[in-house]
Structure 1
């Protein structure tokens, strides 16, 4: 499996945090791609020879908007795979789509029939080219058209609050966040649900978990107790419980499953 992370074009840097491209030409049996909480919603173009499906055999569309996902999603696939995921900043759902972010939590929606994807025949154009550069250019144009529709829709307070929580790896006191941005607890809660899709507490827990996940991946389980403490968990058991909550697996089970993905 070939995975690459791409820095977004300067024209969309205010909206897109990073781009991940996954491609595999050598899958001869069914594989599972896990989608787990990372704090970023995404606009995703995804195709395979036989199509993607989730655990209930529901077929997934090719051009999809994923909201904040707390519950893990497993994508089942067979054959050639390419996934191009534009990970939006956490507060961008409302700004780009004009939808309350809470309505999209744990939900994916087909973008093919929505504007401006429909008017620019985005899905058709993406399917009709095999050039990654061309596909990226098409998706860049789509993001810019979304941004043009709802200007000026970016809420600076929620943007800075979400960044503060992310930079602290979810460990910053929410009381401190409220004081820093001169908002009440209820206002902060409402803003996060409207723009991010989850409560500030849940977003903090996602950031904390995601940092622990990265550390475990890089350190291959050496010093799990140290990673738990560094990530702000009381002990290793708390880390494992949180891991199961967000992935349905223990860390060992999760990474064993990931290692079995055909390469």
Structure 2
């Protein structure tokens, strides 16, 4: 059985943390499925058997790491007894606080020195419930960063793209942040690992996917219009470049495992 539960972070904690996920799997048959690109980053902690990343010569993921934004879907293998705790975060805040370069690496993850994450991984491992893990990790963040966080231009551009990318051209979003657009874009790539344009494409993909999940109807003319694509061929090309499948194939197949792996809500399968 593949099980997922989530906990939305409290309002006063969302300056960095958006939500928590708990994934559990135990079965004789492994699951082969994709992880769809998201617009956020995450702390990932594995306490049982770890997923295998097929895209990197069957690389077994580390016990703990920071997952950066991915440009394209990743092929995963879930097997054995999975017990994973994932903390979905604002990537610009996370990378700034930990002074990280989030540019993509061959393993599709960012490692921190063991003395930064190993102690909290060890404590989380011995928690008996998801609720205890949430409380422990939030306490860790509050203790590590007690001072109020002040957003900068990169933080503001990230929020503008996440909230307004569907209806507003990128150049106008950059203008609202002030300062040199070239400097902001360079710092943006350093803090997120992707360009503003790439993030907009990922936000648009997830917006259309969520729209289909909510309305349970696939109308490609509506998707082209709602996503502000030039035409249907532009929509199909953009969609396939991100997920590796055409919209027709993607929306007709069973997406239950993909949704769980990609953090799209709680559930069982």
User: Per the shorter chain, which TM-score range?
Assistant: 0.7 to 0.9
1:31 aligned partner: 31
**8 Å contact 1:67–1:105 — kept in the other structure?**
no
1:200 aligned partner: 196
The secondary structure found in structure 2 opposite 1:177 is: helix
1:133 aligned partner: 131
5+ residue gaps, structure 2, are: 259-267
**8 Å contact 2:33–2:257 — kept in the other structure?**
no
Q: Given the two structures, how large is their TM-score scaled by the length of structure 2?
A: 0.82
CA distance in 1: counterparts of 2:212 and 2:257, whole angstroms: 17
Root mean square deviation, CA, Å: 2.7
Aligned runs of 1:216-235 on 2, under 5 Å? 216-235=212-231
Once the two structures are TM-superposed, the CA of residue 243 in structure 1 deviates from its matched residue by 1.9
CA distance in 1: counterparts of 2:254 and 2:10, whole angstroms: 33
The secondary structure found in structure 2 opposite 1:233 is: coil
Cα pair distance change 1:171/1:101, threshold 3 Å: farther
Cα pair distance change 1:133/1:152, threshold 3 Å: closer
Q: Given the two structures, how large is their TM-score scaled by the length of structure 1?
A: 0.83
The answer to which structure has the higher strand fraction is 2
Relative contact order, higher structure (CA 8 A, sep 6+): 2
**8 Å contact 1:169–1:231 — kept in the other structure?**
no
What count of residue pairs does the alignment treat as equivalent?
Answer: 256
5+ residue gaps, structure 1, are: none
Q: In the alignment, is residue 73 of structure 1 matched against residue 71 of structure 2? A: no
**8 Å contact 2:153–2:178 — kept in the other structure?**
no
**8 Å contact 1:37–1:206 — kept in the other structure?**
yes
**8 Å contact 1:117–1:142 — kept in the other structure?**
no
**8 Å contact 1:54–1:76 — kept in the other structure?**
yes
**8 Å contact 2:67–2:108 — kept in the other structure?**
yes
CA distance in 2: counterparts of 1:146 and 1:105, whole angstroms: 29
CA distance in 2: counterparts of 1:69 and 1:249, whole angstroms: 16
CA distance in 2: counterparts of 1:145 and 1:93, whole angstroms: 15
